[in-house]
Chain A
Amino acid sequence: MNLLPFYLSISAFMFIMGVIGVLTRRNAIIVFMSIELMLNSANLTFVTFSSYLGNITGQLFVFFVMAVAAAEAAVGLAIIIAIFRNKSTMNVDQINILKW
């Protein structure tokens, strides 16, 4: 049984759940976790094609995506802490200084 479309479907489902999370949730940390979900779904697609095509480049890209995700999480969570210290809220609707 060829499982390739099912791996890709799981990846698509996780990506869409991440998109829905970013669009609907208002807690900055949960928005962040949804972004991690989307990054991981992209990683799953990379590894699936890397394995099925017998090409190593996909797995190396997953390695780089993980490094970038770690950097992004560190900086983003530091920004959330800085915002929380100034405005004492994590609700992204109330962080609107840069809106017109």
Chain B
Amino acid sequence: MTLHTILFVIFASVAIVTSVLVVTRRSPIIAALFLVLNFAALAGLYLLLSAQFIAVVQIIVYAGAIMVLFLFVIMLLKPEVEQRFFENDPMLKWGSLIVGLLTLILLIYAIFLTTGRTVIKTDLNTAVQIGKVESIGQELFTSFLLPFEAIGFVLLAATIGAMILAKKKLR
């Protein structure tokens, strides 16, 4: 067991356990805090995959900005008492659980079938090189310049839209 494998097991188990807890906790604030932990574990997995820039952005944007937005909205709204998981409409709950688990089994079977057949070589040097801020910035401002500008307009439209929607008088 190398250090990489040990860290992978730690981050992976944290990600799996917290993703279950996000869906099953009844209180939204506890679910949101477990989601922050899940994002942090994902940032660790990104670091193991030598994507340093994405890992840092994951912490800053997701665990920082987006989750703070969620927590502020939870703070502003009245907390509602949620029912237990199987209390309301148990047929729907069991149905979605069964469908989800079957799909999961299918996906994992397909993943192990295809990755067992074709071996993808990892060259750690190239992986570290392409994860750097320098190479990402270079690619972003050359071949992905148009989508980069478009995403700026998307964010502007979202900001204006959010302000208009959250205003007091809608008409």
| Contact code string B16-38 (vs A, CB < 8 Å = 1, else 0) | 10011011000010011001001
- Contacts A8-B115, A10-B12 given: A67-B155 contact, CB under 8 Å? yes
| Interface residue? B10 (CB, 8 A) | no
Which residues from chain A contact B122 at a C-beta distance below 8 Å?
51-52
Q: Which of B37-76 contact A (CB under 8 A)?
A: 38-39, 42, 45-46, 49-51, 53-54, 57-58, 61-62, 65-66, 69-70, 73-74, 76
| Interface residue? B162 (CB, 8 A) | yes
On whether the beta carbons of A82 and B22 are closer than 8 Å, the reply is: no
On whether the beta carbons of A26 and B111 are closer than 8 Å, the reply is: no
Smallest Cβ-Cβ distance to A4: which chain B residue = B115
| Interface residue? A95 (CB, 8 A) | no
How many residues on A have C-beta within 8 angstroms of the other chain's C-beta atoms? 71
On whether the beta carbons of A4 and B120 are closer than 8 Å, the reply is: yes
Q: Which of A20-51 contact B (CB under 8 A)?
A: 20-21, 23-27, 29-30, 32-34, 36-37, 40, 43-44, 47-48, 50-51
On whether the beta carbons of B165 and A78 are closer than 8 Å, the reply is: yes
Q: How far is the CB of A80 from chain B (nearest CB, A)?
A: 6
User: Which of B28, B35, B58, B135 has a CB less than 8 Å from the CB of A37?
Assistant: B35
Q: Which of B46, B73, B76, B151 has the most CB of A within 10 A?
A: B73
Q: How far is the CA of A32 from the CA of B31 in the complex (A)?
A: 11
- Contacts A24-B96, A29-B74 given: A70-B5 contact, CB under 8 Å? no
Which residues from chain A contact B166 at a C-beta distance below 8 Å?
78, 81-82
How many residues on B have C-beta within 8 angstroms of the other chain's C-beta atoms? 82
Main secondary structure of the interface of A (DSSP, over half): helix
On whether the beta carbons of A1 and B54 are closer than 8 Å, the reply is: no
- Contacts A17-B23, A63-B136 given: A12-B111 contact, CB under 8 Å? yes
A–B complex contacts, Cβ < 8 Å, 27 sampled: A3-B4, A3-B5, A7-B45, A9-B111, A10-B45, A13-B19, A16-B104, A20-B100, A24-B92, A26-B82, A29-B74, A30-B22, A33-B31, A34-B23, A40-B42, A43-B42, A47-B46, A48-B49, A54-B126, A66-B62, A71-B154, A71-B155, A73-B69, A73-B70, A75-B158, A81-B77, A91-B80
Binding site for B on A (CB under 8 A): 1-10, 12-21, 23-27, 29-30, 32-34, 36-37, 40, 43-44, 47-48, 50-57, 59-60, 62-64, 66-75, 77-82, 84, 88-91
